[in-house]
Structure 1
Amino acid sequence: MNRIIFYLKKFIDFLTTLFLISLLTFLTFQLLPGNPALAILGPEADSAQIAALEQKMGLDKALPERYISWAWHVICGDFGTSYQYNQSVSKLIGGSFIVTLSLASVTLIFTVLIGFFFGFLYAYIHKTRFFKPLVSIHSIWFSVPSFCTALLMILIFSVKLGFFPAMGYSRLSQGFFAWLHSLVLPAFSLSLGSGAILARYTTTSILNQEKQDYVRTARSKGLSEWGVITRHILRNALLPSVTTLGLIMTEILGGSIIIENVFSLPGIGRLIANSISTRDFPLIQALVLYLALITLSCNFLVDVIYTLIDPRVRTMK
């Protein structure tokens, strides 16, 4: 019963936050200076043409009526028509989302492998002489921006060695290996920074757990260091790492604007950059809602995973 109440409260918070974000997003773009109809038709359009387009776009209605109409269409999956592309916003986002989801899936796998491997490794060797040099290298690795890593990856693995393409995207329908081949470089470039963050949080969490009494008891029984970490520390050390991984998932699924533009991937990040540069308000509104939905969904998923790892969380909230 407690689990159902906990999830219900979280879902109500999810819907309330999404409603407030949609309201704020709509008001922000409706109150911006400038006439969207004039922006579409150009300065040479006469008043009759502008008035006709305003009526078609619903700009002649009161603000509350416009919001209710817009919100209802959004609930039905209709985000309007893009000014720039003259296409359905839903179709544009749907096509780009597949690319971003593909990139996010590969990136998340790389991030988890890199983060947990180095997190456990640092915790395992923290009492040896190798720990400080590796942490120093990790700090440098953590500080390098993803676009610098991406350019370095392109220079080495595309230009010099020719192992991977420098740009472009192969769809899954063209073959699994062609799809994966086009995503390895951008995903690896994006996962290095997020993997470094996850590794640091994992190491810190494990080292904090090592100070607990139950760990001292396990060591006193003669267990090896690896056995203590995997059999006793791991479960309790996962909570902070899960939080960090949830934030990383949000960033990845939101679409990396820089990485997708560096590698010319037709994903959400590239769509965001194009919509902002062209003041495509219907598309920007939909993308803001998309990012909000992704963020809230990831946070909700993290809360669910929290309760599975540690059921005490349900009684604390």
Structure 2
Amino acid sequence: MKFYLKKSLDFITTLFLISLLTFGVFQLLPGNPALAILGPEADSTQIKALEEKMGLDKPIAQRYFSWVVGAFHGDLGKSYQYDQSVSKLIGGSFSVTLSLAIVTLIFTLFIGFFFGFFYAYIWHSKFFKPLMNLHQVWFSIPSFCSALLLILIFSVKLGLFPAMGYVPLSQGFFPWLYSLTLPAFSLALGSGAILARYTTSSILNQFRQDYVRTAKSKGLSQWQVITRHILRNALLPSVTTLGLIMTEILGGSIIIENVFSLPGIGRLIATSIQTRDFPLIQGLVLYLALITLICNFLVDMIYTFIDPRIRK
């Protein structure tokens, strides 16, 4: 119980500090938001009236408290660019990014664990080193290069998948999956390569342990040793890697979402930065911090189920 209480307290404390830092940084940025909205033609009366409407005339501590209370109730302010609630904009984009993350995770698990187990299984073979060298090349290919290559082959040449666009799940499961296959697979190629590398290294490290030698002396095959004895101990580094991968994807893959024209968090981040939409950027920073904390918290919880000794 102490372990869970400590992790929960760390979660709350970190989130508070991030919110304080995020708000403080944006208050220190030069420029007047009211002037940015009204333009250089506005007079002082109009600017002052808008500042009062936006609460910019109040002390910074009061503004921070109002922002935190609003964020707690799901109100992160209003976007300058879209003239809409920041919470609604993030919520609408999050559904797209979450869909992409789920499909990407499925592909990543399949690619990562398949190749991770395969490399570990053949590590005594003469093909192991050449394949690991090829894996290093695969590992080094950026996701946007994979995306462009997949579009060229499967969209332009073969016409099997759309090159851009998103179909909501409400319009059918298969159209939804069809629209996400290429972007998810282009992300999963990179993340799957990372997971495979960590899984292979973790399994090979376990092979050097005494309990593995004991299992082999009992006549168990290499596959039985991996599945019955090594797998559970080798999962911890892989779970850490998956947590980092999910944090990155849920944070919005800016390049991939723009390449495939997906209206997700990544595209919203790019737009907000280009237009200097400070309330939206501020809300997105808080969202990214929250996603990172939640993913790390879930990874810590999964650790305790894989290895109960961590709770002690």
Distance (Å, rounded) in 2 between the aligned partners of 1:186 and 1:87? 28
> Structure 2 matches for 1:123-142, cutoff 5 A?
123-142=120-139
Match for residue 270 of structure 2? 273
Deviation of the 1:93 alpha carbon: 0.7
SS at match of 1:7: helix
- Rounded to whole Å, the distance in 1 between the matches of 2:60 and 2:34 is 16
**72, 75, 78: which one aligns with 2:75:** 78
Structure 1: stretches of 5+ with no match in the other structure:
none
Quick one: which of 235, 254, 258 aligns to 2:255? Answer: 258
Amino acid at match of 1:152: L
2:142 to 136, 142, 145: 145
Q: Does 1:48 align with 2:45?
A: yes
User: Segments of 4+ in structure 1 off by > 6 A?
Assistant: none
**2:289 and 2:199 mapped to 1: Cα distance?**
27
In the alignment, residue 158 of structure 1 is paired with which amino acid?
S
Paired residue for 1:298, among 287, 295, 298? 295
2:246 & 2:311 partners in 1: Cα distance? 23
Q: Which residue of 2 aligns with 1:101?
A: 98
Aligned equivalent of 1:215: 212
Shift of 1:195: 0.5
Deviation at 1:175, TM superposition (A): 0.9
What is the aligned counterpart of 1:201 among 187, 191, 198? 198
Paired residues in the alignment total 312
Residue 11 (structure 1) aligns with = 8
How many Å apart are 1:5 and its aligned residue?
A: 1.3
TM-score (norm 1): 0.98
Q: Secondary structure at the match of 2:148?
A: helix
Amino acid at match of 2:162: P
| Residue identity (%) | 80
Q: Given residue 60 of structure 1, which amino acid in structure 2 is its aligned partner?
A: D
CA distance in 2, matches of 1:291, 1:217: 46
Secondary structure, in 3 states, of the residue corresponding to 2:123?
coil
- Tell me how far 1:239 sits from its aligned partner: 0.8
Task: Please name the residue that 2:168 is paired with.
Answer: 171
Q: Distance in 2 between matches of 1:239 and 1:176?
A: 33
Q: Counterpart of 1:281 in structure 2: which amino acid?
A: F
Amino acid at match of 1:27: G
- Distance in 2 of aligned mates of 1:26 and 1:241: 35
Shift of 1:134: 1.0
Quote the offset at 1:154 in angstroms. Answer: 0.5
Measure the CA separation in 2 of the matches of 1:172 and 1:38: 41
Q: How far apart are the structure 2 equivalents of 1:111 and 1:162? A: 24
2:245 is equivalent to residue 245 of structure 1: no
Letter in 2 for 1:243: T
| Amino acid in structure 2 at the alignment position of 1:195 | G
User: Which SS does the other structure have where 1:273 is aligned?
Assistant: helix
Q: Does 1:89 align with 2:97?
A: no
For 2:9 and 2:278, how far apart are their aligned partners in 1?
A: 29
Using the TM superposition, give the Cα deviation of residue 252 of structure 1 relative to its aligned residue in structure 2, in angstroms.
1.0
* Partner-residue secondary structure (3-state), 2:40: coil
Amino acid at match of 1:140: V
Partner of 1:191: 188
The one-character-per-residue Cα deviations of 1:200-228 (angstroms, maximum 9, x if unpaired) are 00000000000001000110111111000
* CA distance in 1 between partners of 2:200 and 2:222 (Å): 14
- Counterpart residue type for residue 194 of structure 1: S
Q: Are residue 26 (structure 1) and residue 15 (structure 2) matched? A: no
| Structure 2 counterparts to residues 53-72 of structure 1, below 5 A | 53-72=50-69
In 2, the alpha carbon distance for the partners of 1:155 and 1:120 equals 31
CA RMSD of the aligned region, Å? Answer: 0.6
Matching residue's letter, 1:65: Q
User: Aligned residue for 1:157?
Assistant: 154
Using the size of structure 2 for normalisation, the TM-score is 0.99
The one-character-per-residue Cα deviations of 1:216-246 (angstroms, maximum 9, x if unpaired) are: 0110111111000000100101111111111
Letter in 2 for 1:148: C
CA distance in structure 2 between the aligned counterparts of 1:15 and 1:145, rounded to whole angstroms: 35
Shift, 1:130, TM fit: 1.3
What is the Cα deviation at residue 173 of structure 1?
A: 1.1
1:179-202 CA-to-partner distances (Å, cap 9, x unmatched) read 000000000000111111100000
Shift of 1:255: 1.0
- Secondary structure in 2 matching 1:169: coil
Unaligned runs of 5+ in 2: none
